[in-house]
Copies of this chain bind each other. A is one copy, B any other.
Amino acid sequence: MKADFINPFLLSLLNVMSTMAQLELKPGKPKRKTDELARGDISGLIGMVGPKTRGSLSISLEKRLALEIMRRMLGEAPAHLNGEVTDMIGEITNMVAGGAKRMLGEKGYEFDMATPIVVAGPSHAITHKAEGMKIMMPFESEFGGATVEICFE
């Protein structure tokens, strides 16, 4: 999988976080995922289907970071990962995939997005099941970490 294909997802998350929550995430080095599992307390997941490819995207956040995003977007944060937070993570997942879809569409890579699913639970592990390469992109912030994973066949 080329950087061409990875960067739109990376940039799209940075854009969404900066625009929606005035939050600057610091991207780490994208790496090919082997055995390592992405973990988070809340994750947004979305499937992608194109004429020549199919895959999945996940965005996993630590609870502390998810609540800080809520605080910045809405002025106050709930104490727990409640329904408002899952709504917000679902929206962010849609926006990140949508932003990457636009950037990739301009380069001739087309895909359609399924609807997002949000998973909440302390330190759950995410495994993408596709034959293709899996890329894990770590992000840091002063409020905790996030991990984006993409996987395409």
A interface with B by C-beta (< 8 Å): 35, 43, 45-49, 54-56, 58, 83, 86-87, 90-91, 93-94, 112-130, 151, 153
Contacts and interface: CB of A to CB of B under 8 A. Distances in A.
B117 A126 contact: yes
6 contacts: A48-B114, A56-B114, A90-B127, A115-B129, A121-B122, A121-B124
Nearest to A46: B47
Contact of A118 (B48, B87, B91, B127): B127
B121 A55 contact: no
Prevailing SS type, chain A contact patch: strand
A119 B124 contact: yes
Given A56-B114, A115-B153, 7 more contacts: A45-B119, A54-B112, A83-B127, A90-B127, A94-B129, A119-B126, A120-B125
Nearest to A60: B119
